[in-house]
Structure 1
Amino acid sequence: MLDSFTIRRIQSVMNGYIHEKVPAPLRTMVKLTYEMNDNELILTEERPAEQPYQWDKMHIARFYWEENRWKVYAKDEHSSWNVVDVIEPCPDFEDLLEQVERDDAGLFWR
C-alpha cells in the first residue's frame, strides 16, 4: 500500500497534469479526473451526457503499484484491463504518466 506522502505527491502531479492538459475554455466540454484507491490510480475522461448535469466517463489508463513499481493498463475492446507491454513497469509514476500522455502505441487517446 502506498504511504501518505506518496499519495499526496501523486495527487499533486495529477492535479497539475489535469490543469495543464485541458484548457479552461474546454472544461465545460471535456474534463479529466482520476480516482485513487489503495495501490491504484485510474485516469478518466468525462464528457457531458445527454441528461443535464451528468457526465459520461471513459477510462483512459490504470496505474497499479505492485512489487515496488508502477504498471500501466489499458482497456481492450471488451472493457477489460490489460497490462501495456510496450511500457515497462517503473518506480517513477511521472515517467509512466508521460508515456501515457505521448501514447506512442495509440492505446489511450482515441
Structure 2
Amino acid sequence: MLDSFTIRRIQSLMNGYIHEKVPAPLRTMVKLTYVMNNDELILTEERPADERYQWDVLPIARFHWEGEQWKVYAQDESSSWNAVDVIQPCLDFEDLLEQVERDETGIFWR
C-alpha cells in the first residue's frame, strides 16, 4: 500500500498534468479526470453525453502498484484491463505517465 506522502505527490502530479493537457477553452468539451484508490489510479477522459449535464466517462489507463513497482494496464473491447507489455513496470510513476502520454503504440489515445 502507498504511503500518504506518495499519494499526495501523485495527486499533485496528476492535477498539474491534467491542467496542462487540456487547454482552458476546451474544458467544456473534454475533461481528464482520475480516481485513486489505495494502490491504483485510473485515468479517464470525459465528454458531454447526449443527456444534458451528464458526461460519458472513457477509461484511458490504469496504473497499479504491484510488488514495489507501478504497472500499466489498458482496456480491451470487452472493458477488461490488460497489462501493457510494451511498457515495463517501473518504480517511477511519472515515467509511466510520460509513456502513456507519448502512446507510441496507439493503445491509450484513440
Per the normalisation by structure 1, the TM-score is 0.99
The residue that corresponds to 2:31 in the other structure is 31
- Runs of 4+ in structure 1 off by over 6 angstroms are none
Query: Gaps spanning 5+ residues in structure 2: where?
Result: none
Aligned equivalents of 1:6, 1:53: Cα separation in 2: 34
RMSD: 0.4
SS, match of residue 108 in structure 1: coil
SS, match of residue 61 in structure 2: strand
The residue that corresponds to 1:60 in the other structure is 60
- Aligned positions, number: 110
Aligned equivalents of 1:77, 1:33: Cα separation in 2: 21
Deviations 1:37-62 (A, max 9, x none): 01000000000011111100000000
The residue that corresponds to 1:4 in the other structure is 4
Aligned equivalents of 1:4, 1:53: Cα separation in 2: 34
- Amino-acid identity (%): 80
Query: Gaps spanning 5+ residues in structure 1: where?
Result: none
Aligned equivalents of 1:24, 1:85: Cα separation in 2: 34
Q: CA deviation at 1:77?
A: 1.2
The residue that corresponds to 1:85 in the other structure is 85
SS, match of residue 57 in structure 1: strand
SS, match of residue 41 in structure 2: strand
Aligned equivalents of 1:66, 1:91: Cα separation in 2: 10
The residue that corresponds to 2:102 in the other structure is 102
Aligned equivalents of 1:74, 1:91: Cα separation in 2: 19
